[in-house]
Amino acid sequence: MARREITATPAPPDAAERRRAEGVVAYPVENLPPFDAAFYETARREMRKVSETIIPPRDARTFSVPAGHFFRIACPEGSQVGDLNLWNARDLSERFFSGKTRALHATHVTTGDRLWSTLPWLRPMATITDDSLAWYGWDADGAGVHDVIGTRCDPYTNLLLTGAEYHHCCHSNLSRALAAERNISPREAEPHIHDVLNVFMCTGFTRDTHQYFMKASPARRGDFIEFFAEIDLLAALSACPGGDCSASHSSDEAQCHPLLVEVFRPAAHKLAHWAPPAASAYSRSHGAG
């Protein structure tokens, strides 16, 4: 039942007028440094691959990306959604801030958008420098690709909704991967797992009830999204048990494929005038003196 059908509050006489208020973009981004496509294009021209990681289906792996390196996430075999976590490699408390990234850019991100870190740092952790699915844009259902509106599939919500335990949700996969990386238990790793960038996932909100929906990812074998690491990154990527997320997740029902991560180092002279972004300069006084 739609929410409006169960509320009994009558609309006031000026309801139409109140609804006519014009929306303004909450966070104008004109003052952010512009996306320097030429810089990334030049840097990409002379680079060599320094590592490669295969993410097995229904599982996750970590990988490191030094500042100033590119990394690409690809579908080497078939359509597959990936759930990405990013941390400052030196301090796990600085991590990807999905909510503010959404507020600054959009519900779905593509070339030119940045992945921002949590407060009090609030700086670009990575910049999206290429996206083979950039052509998708927004479809007739209002859906887009690479979402920052979903969180990650997790065993708690699954238990809540189905009454069953499933251990290969992205949240659990990411917890196990970080635990293995840091030689800690999954329980110790779990608080570091955060809302993700849903790579290749095609999602939106239903027009009538505004509920989160997913549909078959348009990604095909060979599709990729490329990032430039703005700071030293530790990353974890889960190959979602939902596969292309066309029907279900949080189970072994969907057909799943591996994901491929490649890290590239540009020639040093290409980065001669580049420096990692500084953390926010806010005083942190919060008005308390």
Residues making contact with Zn ion (CB under 5 A): 153, 170, 240
Q: Are strands 60-65 and 233-239 parallel, antiparallel or unpaired?
A: antiparallel
- What's the farthest any 2 CA atoms get from each other in the chain? 66
Nearer to Zn ion, 177 or 240 (CB): 240
- As a whole number of angstroms, the distance between CA 222 and CA 74 comes to 6
Least Cα distance to 197 among 276, 128, 120 occurs for 128
Shortest distance (Å) from residue 242 CB to Zn ion: 6
Question: CB 250 → Zn ion: shortest distance, Å?
Answer: 7
Q: What are phi and psi of 108, to 5 degrees?
A: -135, 145
Among residues 115 and 239, whose Cβ is nearest to Zn ion?
Answer: 239
d(C-alpha 221, C-alpha 268), whole Å:
32
Quick one: tokens of 45?
């021209």
CB nearer to Zn ion: pick between 41 and 253 = 253
Residue with Cβ nearer Zn ion (80 or 117): 80
Q: How far apart are CA 21 and CA 28, in angstroms?
A: 18
Instruction: Report the nearest approach of Zn ion to the CB of residue 240 (Å).
Output: 3
- Closer residue to Zn ion, CB minimum distance, 229 or 259: 259
Please give the angle made by the CA atoms of 178, 179 and 181, to the nearest 5 degrees. 60
Instruction: For the CB of residue 45, give the shortest distance to Zn ion in the complex, in Å.
Output: 35
- The residues that bridge with 198 in the sheet, in sequence order, are 83, 147
201: left (phi over 0), alpha (psi -120 to 50) or beta: beta
For residue 88, give both structure tokens. Answer: 């400052």
Alpha helix (H) ranges present in 27-91?
37-45
Q: Which residues pair with 71 in a beta bridge?
A: 227, 263
Task: Give the phi and the psi of residue 205 in degrees, each rounded to 5.
Answer: -120, 135
Helices (H), 33-142: 37-45, 98-104
Residue 153 vs 260, nearer CB to Zn ion: 153
Which one, 84 or 126, has the nearer CB to Zn ion?
84
**Closer by beta carbon to Zn ion, 195 or else 226:** 195
Can the peptide bond before residue 191 be classed as cis, meaning omega within 30 degrees of 0? no
